Amino acid sequence: MGLPGRSTRKVSVWPVAFVGGLRYESPKVNAAGKVYGWKTVFDPHRPFAIDMAGFAINLRLVLFKPQAYFKLRGVKGGYQESSLLRELVTLNDLEPKAANCT
């Protein structure tokens, strides 16, 4: 059994335990295996409502898109992940891991 991000083509996502007052936060995944939303308490309408521990980015994608970086300034608190991920992918590009985030 390998690490969930090892086979990442663009950006992989998975559930994270003990985040934001929940037992876990998770991407919502439809029957086709596509992410369509987020199970989270903190601002679930963020473009990518995911904790930093819940995703992996393929290094080739970062190198191909050098404008994408993790911004600490000029970004509303809790939106750093969304700021980075929207520079790299769309919701449709996300690759659910961990048995489709179940």
Q: Are 34 and 89 within 8 A, CB to CB?
A: no
Set 25, 81, 87, 95: catalytic member: 81
Residue 87 among the catalytic residues: no
Amino acid at 81: E
The residue assigned the tokens 């903190």 is 42
- DSSP-derived 3-state class of residue 82: helix
Amino acid at 90: T
Tokens of 41: 């308490």
Which is nearest to 84 in space by CA: 54, 35, 48? 48
Q: Give the residue numbers marked as catalytic.
A: 81
